[in-house]
Amino acid sequence: MVPLVPVNPTEIASTAANYEHAVLAEGASRILHTSGIVPVKPDGTVPESITAQAEVIWQNIREILKEASMEVTDIALVTTYVVPDQNLSEVMAARDETFGSHQAASTLLVVSQLAQKSWKMEIAVVAISDS
């Protein structure tokens, strides 16, 4: 069995319940699966705009990757959840700014609501790197 190592950077807000921000499977390759990362700043606040929420989420993801000794270019899959009536071009612009020329598989889902009404989006990623 490949051990799963919890990844919970202190630079981002704690999880809202009994789960990890991410788990890292270390074997021949290192595979990181994040939970749905939400737009909560380290001080517990949530920005109002979808653009600011996207920026906070991608910063939180970068911190998780850093804690796991990974980079944005290790991301293989992005799953984005967005509530209705949001400007999807702003959501994608934040992703494109984070990724630069990096490409990953991507799924975008419009959902009726997330766990907290103030959250307009949530992103989960899978990242893979060599051991």
- The residue with tokens 């959902």 is 111
Helix (H, G, I), strand (E, B) or coil at 42: coil
**pTM > 0.95: yes or no:** no
CATH level 2 (architecture), domain 4-130: 2-Layer Sandwich (3.30)
Provide the 3-class DSSP secondary structure of residue 107: strand
Q: What is the largest CA-CA distance in the chain?
A: 44
Domain residue ranges of the chain, discontinuous segments joined by +:
4-130
Q: Could you tell me which of 70, 78, 83 has the C-alpha nearest to residue 24?
A: 70
Pairing of strands 22-26, 4-7: antiparallel
Q: How confident is the model at residue 1 (pLDDT cuts 50, 70, 90)?
A: low
pLDDT in the model for residue 16: 80
- Per-residue pLDDT tens digits for 25-84: 988 899 999 999 999 999 999 999 999 999 999 999 999 999 999 999 999 999 999 999
